[in-house]
Amino acid sequence: MSLPPTTTRFKNPRAKYNFQGRTCSISGVGSYVPARVLTNSELERMVDTTDEWITTRTGIKERHLAAKDEFTSDLASQAAQRAMERAGVTADQVDLIIVATITPDMPFPSTACLVQRRIGAHRAAAFDLEAACSGFIYALEIAQQFIMSRTYDTVLVIGAEKLSSIVDWTDRNTCVLFGDGAGAAVLQNRPNAHGLLTAVMGADGRKSDLLFMPGGGSRCPASSESIAGRAHYLRMEGRETFKNAVQAMLTAAEEAMRRCEIDISRIKCIIPHQANRRIIDAVGERLGAKAGQMFVNLHKYGNTSAASVAIALDEAVASGCLQRGDLALLIVFGAGLTWGAAVIEW
């Protein structure tokens, strides 16, 4: 097939670009958790559980809960503002906002649009991304694509959840595990900086029934039956999820390091999804991590899904575990099933 002469052909505006000289640097991170703390001893009074069971089976001691009038977009905006301050970026510089969440304020408009209004980033495009606990790494990779292709220079990536709104507070199998919070990162092209080196993403929809919330979508809209059937709360097969989490996190982490041609000894700080201490230990052991290499903060927050590694990244930086020039390995796993890993030069 012969193409028309070049003069009349539509010119792809991106054709003149390449990735040379382009980097996706993380110029600032921030996080926010609501003030209210729910301890294991309080949970002992709510369901048939004990502090001892929760601590030994999960490592969680307490979690933060958003107030009745505090929503995912509020948590997200607080974290975003902290990240922007640290990056030295003003709202009018933001080109794109991506919010990773499974607990949007409402089905639409997107929580990202509500954040845009709240922080005054009126120039920015905005959308939500749903990859459960893996959402922050999915969002980092998408942000990187926009930056490397020179579509945008400054992207705000946020992981934010108000999981307390979809947790069944009468189900001891799940209610002890989750908490609310948000973490954010400002991604920018900056000369002579590295930042996000690679991100691996994976999914297996055949295992979608291990962790899900049946109600609220087109399959099961809200009705008196759906409410009576407790369909608007999350459901999880804990044991199966656990097994899949360890294997998927390992595979993703190994692939990310292979792409960067490094081994675990080069990583200063491994930041895994904070779901269960035993999952973190199993992954660390199989990766050959040394004592202190795995960053852990789940005793304070529980599982905050898409916010989890974002909050942990912020705390790893604030505590000095991660210094400029160090390599960090982020590893995530969540409903879908989804998983991912990213190598960052901080």
Which amino acids are annotated catalytic? Answer: 133, 273, 303
Angle between helices 238-260 and 277-287 (to 10 degrees): 40
CB of 143 to ligand ACO, least distance (A): 21
Q: How far apart are the first and last CA of the chain?
A: 49
* Footprint on residues 156-175 left by ligand ACO (CB under 6 A): 172-173
Please identify which residue in 22, 37, 44, 57 interacts with ligand ACO, judged by CB under 6 A: 57
Q: What is the DSSP string of 60-101?
A: --EEEE--TT--HHHHHHHHHHHHHHHHT--GGG--EEEEE-
Q: Does 208 bind ligand ACO (CB under 6 A)?
A: no
CB of 331 to ligand ACO, least distance (A): 12
> Which of the stretches 88-96, 234-242, 287-295, 315-323 binds ligand ACO when contact is defined by CB under 6 A?
234-242
Total chain residues near ligand ACO (CB under 6 A): 23
147 neighbors 117 (Cβ within 8 angstroms): no
What's the CA angle centered on 75, arms 74 and 79, to 5 degrees?
115
Q: Does 303 bind ligand ACO (CB under 6 A)?
A: yes
CB of 13 to ligand ACO, least distance (A): 38
Identify which of residues 132 and 142 has a Cβ nearer to ligand ACO in the complex: 132
d(CA 180, CA 308): 9
What's the CA angle centered on 226, arms 218 and 104, to 5 degrees?
55
Q: Does 211 bind ligand ACO (CB under 6 A)?
A: yes
Which stretches of 238-334 are DSSP H helices? 238-260, 277-287, 298-301, 308-318
Q: Does 147 bind ligand ACO (CB under 6 A)?
A: no
β-sheet bridge partners, residue 186: 28, 156
Binding residues vs ligand ACO (CB under 6 A): 49, 53-54, 57-58, 132-133, 172-173, 176, 211, 238-239, 241-242, 245, 275-276, 279, 303, 305, 334-335
